[in-house]
Amino acid sequence: MRVPLLDLKAQYETIRSEILPALEEVLESQHFILGPKVGDFEQKVAVYSNCTDAIGVSSGSDALLISLMAEDIGPGDDVITTPYTFFATAGAISRTGATPVFVDIQPDTYNMDPNLIEERITPRTRAIIPVHLYGQCADMWPILDLAGKKGLVVIEDAAQAIGAEYPNETPSRLEICRAGSMGDYGCFSFFPSKNLGGFGDGGMVATNDSDRAERLKILRAHGSKPKYYHKFVGGNFRLDAIQAAVLSVKLRHLDTWTAKRRQNAASYDAAFESSGLVDKGLITLPKAFWKKAIAQNIATENSETRSLSLHDHIYNQYIISTSRRDELRGYLTDRGIGTEIYYPVPLHLQECYLSLGYPPGSFPVSEDAAKRTLALPIYPELTNEQQEYVVDAVCEYFS
Ligand SMILES: Cc1ncc(COP(=O)(O)O)c(C=O)c1O
């Protein structure tokens, strides 16, 4: 049996009959850049993410870059983020001329530890970029609270987390917030391997601030408004109509796919827990954190019901952790099972960031995660047989 890490061909088979007419419509219109298809898709993402505005851009990387540009962040500024993320998060900061300042992650969620942020804030600090890694929101309220007190901008890197939910617990009320709707900007990626992936590159910035939305729209077209009159120096950050057409079709299926990913995660959890590997300390499973937080802390009937349907993790990746990661990965590869390491080198130890001056040991939780984490196949089209094959192979390896 072969089990790839992701099977986009299997997904395409299920939506081909919807995709082809949508593509044909774009081809017949010959309107390829921005335009009504993009506008329509932007509105859908805004609604889906509980935001007033969403601005389609060329990639998730550019979503981050244009958000920083919209705040005039540049040389002399610091932006706080995590060293345990895809390079684009910090790369966008560097491309503005600002300096990434890292804080370590929590060991259970792999997301930025809010308790470590304040000590890194200086007069140079302008923004915080929490990353919702693997499909689970960072602990946003302490971050938003601190940012509010210090006057900092919050840019959510929600590239891996479209549709993920985070509960804002107040004593009287439970507010469920969608990834991308909590900070000043929410950045999404539509890279093909994302839960909502296009047929090429694409991204989106969501916001609840109409002034910011307007500025983003101007910046994505070289800062021009009206056409050929340039208020600012922007860039070509436009989303194209073919991506918008494909993504609009896929958005209709996203909740079903997310439910399937969550079901697959629950099956892995149950199988690995009953295998004894977790109790023996041989592997650690991903923690879907926020549902438990609600169940423990808020005991009203309404919140109980809501906690059951809360999409606290949308499992862009299902990540196990083990000290024998590399050997396990080799064993699975030999059995035709696709896996990946997200990410083998934390950003502060990347060659291009050695000049930032963080020696090994600066962020022990991130460095440990980089040695131990392994992504297993979790995509919605994974069959029961394939999943059992993966579980059996992991168990065999440790037996
Ligand atoms: C956390 C994170 N941020 C940013 C990006 C950049 O997105 P894109 O590849 O669309 O530029 C990605 C994509 O992999 C990502 O995972």
Confidence band, pLDDT 50/70/90 cuts, at residue 172? low
Average pLDDT over residues 192-200: 98
Same domain, 214 and 267: no
Name which of 372, 342, 374 is nearest 84 in CA terms: 342
Name which of 272, 273, 256 is nearest 311 in CA terms: 256
Residue nearest to atom 12 of ligand 1 (CA): 159
Same domain, 187 and 329: no
From the alpha carbon of 203, which atom of ligand 1 is closest? 10
- Whole domain around residue 206: which residue ranges? 8-251
Confidence band, pLDDT 50/70/90 cuts, at residue 204? very high
**Among 191, 317, 341, 347, which residue has the most ligand 1 atoms within 8 Å of its CB, making it the best to mutate?**
191
Q: Per residue in 84-100, pLDDT tens? A: 999 999 999 999 999 99
For ligand 1, the distance from its centroid to the CA atom of residue 60, given in whole angstroms, is: 5
Q: How far is CA 340 from CA 259, 275, 313, in A?
A: 22, 23, 19
pLDDT at site 310:
76
Kindly give the pairing relationship between strand 203-207 and strand 53-57: antiparallel
**Among 58, 160, 343, which residue has the most ligand 1 atoms within 8 Å of its CB, making it the best to mutate?**
160
| Residue 330 placed within a domain | yes
Confidence band, pLDDT 50/70/90 cuts, at residue 381? very high
For ligand 1, the distance from its centroid to the CA atom of residue 185, given in whole angstroms, is: 15
pLDDT at site 293:
59
From the alpha carbon of 133, which atom of ligand 1 is closest? 1
Same domain, 171 and 208: yes
Q: Per residue in 21-38, pLDDT tens? A: 999 999 999 999 999 999
Q: What is the CATH number of the domain that holds 334?
A: 3.90.1150.10
Same domain, 198 and 320: no
| Residue 1 placed within a domain | no
Question: Last residue of a domain, which of 211, 231, 251?
Answer: 251
Distance CA 179, CA 205 (A): 11
CB 289 within 8 A of CB 144: no
Give the least confident one: 170-184, 243-257, 359-373.
170-184
What is the 8-class DSSP label of residue 34?
S
Which residues lie with the beta carbon below 6 Å from any ligand 1 atom?
A: 59-61, 85-86, 88-89, 131, 157, 159-160, 189, 191, 201, 203
Q: Per residue in 317-336, pLDDT tens? A: 999 999 999 999 999 999 99
Q: Per residue in 104-158, pLDDT tens? A: 999 999 999 999 999 999 999 999 999 999 999 999 999 999 999 999 999 999 9
Same domain, 266 and 299: yes
Alpha helices in 88-240 (DSSP H): 88-95, 140-150, 210-219
Question: Last residue of a domain, which of 218, 251, 284?
Answer: 251
What is the 8-class DSSP label of residue 105?
B
Distance CA 338, CA 341 (A): 11
Kindly give the pairing relationship between strand 99-102 and strand 78-81: parallel
| Residue 388 placed within a domain | yes
For ligand 1, the distance from its centroid to the CA atom of residue 139, given in whole angstroms, is: 20
Same domain, 208 and 283: no
Same domain, 147 and 246: yes
Sequence-ordered list of residues with C-beta below 8 angstroms from that of 344, at least 6 positions apart, any chain: 370
pLDDT at site 299:
47
Same domain, 216 and 268: no
For ligand 1, the distance from its centroid to the CA atom of residue 382, given in whole angstroms, is: 23
| Residue 235 placed within a domain | yes
| Residue 44 placed within a domain | yes
For ligand 1, the distance from its centroid to the CA atom of residue 239, given in whole angstroms, is: 15
- Total number of residues shown for the chain: 399
Half-sphere exposure at residue 386, Cβ-oriented, CA atoms within 13 angstroms: 18
Bridge partners, residue 174, by sequence: 169
Question: Last residue of a domain, which of 251, 269, 302?
Answer: 251
Q: What is the mean pLDDT of the chain?
A: 94
pLDDT at site 169:
67
Distance CA 385, CA 30 (A): 44
Q: Per residue in 222-255, pLDDT tens? A: 999 999 999 899 999 999 999 999 999 999 999 9
Name which of 108, 191, 103 is nearest 143 in CA terms: 103
For ligand 1, the distance from its centroid to the CA atom of residue 86, given in whole angstroms, is: 6
Whether 369 has a pLDDT exceeding 50, the answer reads: yes
| Residue 372 placed within a domain | yes
Same domain, 53 and 182: yes
Q: What is the CATH number of the domain that holds 103?
A: 3.40.640.10
**Among 57, 59, 61, 205, which residue has the most ligand 1 atoms within 8 Å of its CB, making it the best to mutate?**
61
From the alpha carbon of 190, which atom of ligand 1 is closest? 10
Percent share of the chain, pLDDT over 90: 90
Same domain, 239 and 346: no
| Residue 59 placed within a domain | yes
> How many folded domains does the chain comprise?
2
Same domain, 131 and 265: no
Whether 365 has a pLDDT exceeding 90, the answer reads: yes
Same domain, 210 and 199: yes
| Residue 2 placed within a domain | no
Q: Per residue in 261-316, pLDDT tens? A: 999 999 999 999 999 999 999 999 998 766 555 555 544 445 555 555 678 899 99
